[in-house]
Amino acid sequence: MTVTELVSYEDALASYDPVMGLEVHVELGTKTKMFCGCSTELGAEANSQTCPTCLGLPGSLPVVNAIGVESAIKIGLALHCEIAEWCRFARKNYFYPDMPKNFQTSQYDEPIAFNGYLDVQLEDGEVFRVEIERAHMEEDTGKSTHVGGATGRIHGAQHSLLDYNRAGIPLIEIVTKPIEGAGERAPEVAKAYVAELRELIKALGVSEARMEMGQMRCDVNLSLMPKGSETFGTRSETKNVNSLRSVERAARFEIQRHAAVLSSGGTVVQETRHFHEEDGSTTAGRIKDNAEDYRYFPEPDLVPVAPAREWVEELRKGLPELPRVRRNRLREDWGVSQHDMQSILNAGAVDLIVATIEAGADSAAARKWWMGELARRANEAGTELAELAITPAQVARVCALVAEGALNDKLARQVIEGVLAGEGEPDAVVEKRGLAVVSDDSALGAAVDEAIAANAAIADKIRAGKVAAAGALVGAVMKATRGQADAARVRELILERLGVEG
Ligand code: ADP
Ligand code: MG
Ligand code: ZN
């Protein structure tokens, strides 16, 4: 392979306009596979969830999973697509060891949903419309594990293991029309599109769409045309990019690489490429097959899918509020900036904050705890906010205890620590750890007197009118009470004792 010197991003964009096409595969969360009754549960022993149909044994017959079709229609509707009145499955023929039938049951020229769009919001709030070409139903392949080599890749391996548990799990493939006009923001658009699609899929409840688990993956097609030209260039297709950040980086890298090839007088090869997380680069995969090479033909063993219009309309009525619309509504309710809302979204905190508010917390407090202390702890533990061992109801209870003055922030952090450590509900932690704020004057009085006696010079200053110096005495009392004193009351008591007005 010849390593091409990349052109800088700015130079690339000065001479060329990028065109992108994004193909996203989503694994549906159905209980059973797309064409048989085998379980889709993850983590089972290899090949324990297979049957003659998903192993492609002679004489076996597939049957379509109705929930799979329903999910496809929901996705199509949420993407403003037309839903086919009648469509078929097709066989996409190719040989690959992890595909036991030697063809993938997919859809070709008759997808269930087509001609839609998804509006995506960029970081600065601008909305960019991505047009959808189609969303079609297909099935996943099995999984190969290459053993004995250094890299886990097939090259250098001694043997390969095949697990067909994943073979036949329903997939929806969503393909955009060529995305033009994004210019230098093309990588940002790609990332925002995948992020928005992921939110949408989750809101529809058809998949958890966890990219890190391969439940959602994106192929990034990219080409450049010289500025002013309207003819698309040759595209590369970077396969199976599996994080939002990687989608953005892959697009950016390909823009720079294509520009380098083109500006040195070379031609871009139509090929698939692999993305490398370590340095954000891509390397050549295989030369791209043409559709003819797959010898597509209609699947003879499955009846056509002809969803009744009443059913489609019923599904349309049941669609949830679109994530972008909901986000904008929440952003206004909460009075936060576009940027802050983006951080909340990126942290996966939107639903947690909503649930905390529903459990009675004030919105500012709910945001503060999830985006502050809890985000810090999730970060430390290397997990997602949603994985933390604390529920929105428990966070709401902590907020309530702070609001009624029973806890200050410092104590509240200890309560959260206790809940996360499995010590029980917030009230139980308060009780066990003895964490209540002390605001009772008789309990505080002694500590206040001691602080005054131990800091006579400061006390004199306050008596002489330098009220600001009271902070030092409040600090001393807080220290003596291990942070449990009600700081506002302590300050009042100090000023009272010293005979000055607050
Ligand atoms: P394939 O099966 O070969 O991947 P698809 O039609 O399924 O082909 O997907 C190709 C994707 O690339 C689509 O999103 C399409 O809009 C986009 N695309 C097509 N031509 C170009 C091009 N010249 N440059 C960038 N993207 C393109
Ligand atoms: Mg493709
Ligand atoms: Zn099966």
Domains recognised in the chain with CATH numbers: 22-221+289-312 (no CATH), 347-433 (no CATH), 441-497 (1.10.10)
Q: Could you say which DSSP state residue 306 is in?
A: -
Q: Which of 16, 17, 22, 23 to mutate to test the pocket of ligand 1 (most atoms within 8 A of CB)?
A: 23
For the chain, the residue count is 502
pLDDT (tens digit per residue) in 302-318: 999 999 999 999 999 99
**Maximum separation of any 2 CA atoms in the chain, in Å:** 99
Sequence-distant (6+) residues with CB within 8 A of 109 are 90, 296
Q: Rounded to an integer, what distance in angstroms lies between the CA atom of residue 175 and that of residue 171?
A: 13
Residue 4: is its pLDDT beyond 80? no
Q: Rounded to an integer, what distance in angstroms lies between the CA atom of residue 120 and that of residue 192?
A: 6
Q: How far is the CA of 138 from the centre of ligand 1 (A)?
A: 18
Q: Rounded to an integer, what distance in angstroms lies between the CA atom of residue 273 and that of residue 287?
A: 9
Q: How far is the CA of 223 from the centre of ligand 1 (A)?
A: 10
Residue 218: is its pLDDT beyond 90? yes
Poorest-pLDDT segment among 273-282, 413-422, 471-480: 471-480
Q: How far is the CA of 213 from the centre of ligand 3 (A)?
A: 21
Which ligand is closest to the CA of 55, given by its number? Answer: 3
Which ligand is closest to the CA of 193, given by its number? Answer: 1
Residue 392: is its pLDDT beyond 50? yes
Q: How far is the CA of 238 from the centre of ligand 1 (A)?
A: 11
pLDDT (tens digit per residue) in 128-171: 999 999 999 999 999 999 998 888 888 889 999 999 999 999 99
Q: Rounded to an integer, what distance in angstroms lies between the CA atom of residue 262 and that of residue 226?
A: 9
Q: Which of 131, 176, 235, 247 to mutate to test the pocket of ligand 1 (most atoms within 8 A of CB)?
A: 235
Q: Whose CA is nearest to atom 11 of ligand 1?
A: 21
Q: Whose CA is nearest to atom 27 of ligand 1?
A: 21
Q: Rounded to an integer, what distance in angstroms lies between the CA atom of residue 137 and that of residue 207?
A: 14
Angle at 218 between CA 215 and CA 222, to 5 degrees: 180
Q: Rounded to an integer, what distance in angstroms lies between the CA atom of residue 254 and that of residue 42?
A: 34
With a Cβ cut-off of 6 Å, ligand 1 is lined by 19-23, 133, 175-178, 221-223, 232-233, 235, 237
* Cβ proximity of 189 and 238 under 8 Å: no
Instruction: Give, to the nearest 10 degrees, the angle between helix 441-454 and helix 456-463.
Output: 100
Angle at 456 between CA 451 and CA 458, to 5 degrees: 85
pLDDT (tens digit per residue) in 20-45: 999 999 999 999 999 999 999 999 99
User: For 328-357, what is the mean pLDDT?
Assistant: 93
Q: Rounded to an integer, what distance in angstroms lies between the CA atom of residue 200 and that of residue 78?
A: 8
CB atoms within 10 A of CB 106: 19
Q: Rounded to an integer, what distance in angstroms lies between the CA atom of residue 290 and that of residue 278?
A: 31
Residue 502: is its pLDDT beyond 80? no
Which ligand is closest to the CA of 239, given by its number? Answer: 2
Q: How far is the CA of 43 from the centre of ligand 2 (A)?
A: 28
User: For 93-101, what is the mean pLDDT?
Assistant: 92
Tell me the pLDDT band of 435, cut-offs 50, 70 and 90. confident
The overall average pLDDT reported for the chain is 93
Residue 481: is its pLDDT beyond 90? no
pLDDT of the residue at 485: 86
Q: Whose CA is nearest to atom 12 of ligand 1?
A: 21
Which ligand is closest to the CA of 51, given by its number? Answer: 3
Residue 378: is its pLDDT beyond 50? yes
pLDDT (tens digit per residue) in 39-63: 999 999 999 999 999 999 999 999 9
Q: Rounded to an integer, what distance in angstroms lies between the CA atom of residue 75 and that of residue 89?
A: 18
| Torsion sign across C-alpha atoms 499, 500, 501, 502 | negative
pLDDT (tens digit per residue) in 161-179: 999 999 999 999 999 999 9
pLDDT of the residue at 276: 95
Q: Which of 24, 180, 221 to mutate to test the pocket of ligand 1 (most atoms within 8 A of CB)?
A: 221
Ligand 1 atom closest to the Cα of residue 173 is 7
Q: Which residue is associated with the tokens 């769409």? A: 209
Q: Could you say which DSSP state residue 39 is in?
A: B
pLDDT of the residue at 177: 98
Q: Rounded to an integer, what distance in angstroms lies between the CA atom of residue 84 and that of residue 64?
A: 16
Q: Rounded to an integer, what distance in angstroms lies between the CA atom of residue 173 and that of residue 176?
A: 10
pLDDT of the residue at 123: 83
The CA-atom distances, in angstroms, between 118 and each of 81, 250, 317, 356 are 10, 21, 18, 29
Strands 127-139 and 170-176 come out as antiparallel
* Cβ proximity of 27 and 169 under 8 Å: yes
pLDDT (tens digit per residue) in 281-290: 999 988 876 7
Q: How far is the CA of 249 from the centre of ligand 1 (A)?
A: 19
Q: Rounded to an integer, what distance in angstroms lies between the CA atom of residue 132 and that of residue 106?
A: 18
Q: Rounded to an integer, what distance in angstroms lies between the CA atom of residue 240 and that of residue 140?
A: 13
Tell me the pLDDT band of 446, cut-offs 50, 70 and 90. confident
Ligand 1 atom closest to the Cα of residue 19 is 25
The predicted model scores a pTM of 0.83
Q: How far is the CA of 312 from the centre of ligand 3 (A)?
A: 28
Tell me the pLDDT band of 487, cut-offs 50, 70 and 90. confident
Angle at 318 between CA 192 and CA 106, to 5 degrees: 60
Which ligand is closest to the CA of 221, given by its number? Answer: 1
* DSSP output for 322-345: PHHHHHHHHHHHHT--HHHHHHHH
Q: Could you say which DSSP state residue 370 is in?
A: I
Q: How far is the CA of 171 from the centre of ligand 1 (A)?
A: 19
Tell me which H or E stretch contains 274. Answer: strand 271-276
Q: How far is the CA of 410 from the centre of ligand 2 (A)?
A: 53
- Percent of all residues in the chain with a pLDDT value above 90, rounded to a whole number: 81
pLDDT of the residue at 365: 97
* Cβ proximity of 80 and 89 under 8 Å: no
Q: Rounded to an integer, what distance in angstroms lies between the CA atom of residue 246 and that of residue 255?
A: 14
How far is CA 81 from its chain centroid?
23
Tell me the pLDDT band of 3, cut-offs 50, 70 and 90. low
pLDDT (tens digit per residue) in 252-272: 999 999 999 999 999 999 999
Residue 1: is its pLDDT beyond 70? no
Sequence-distant (6+) residues with CB within 8 A of 186 are 18, 20, 179, 222, 251, 255
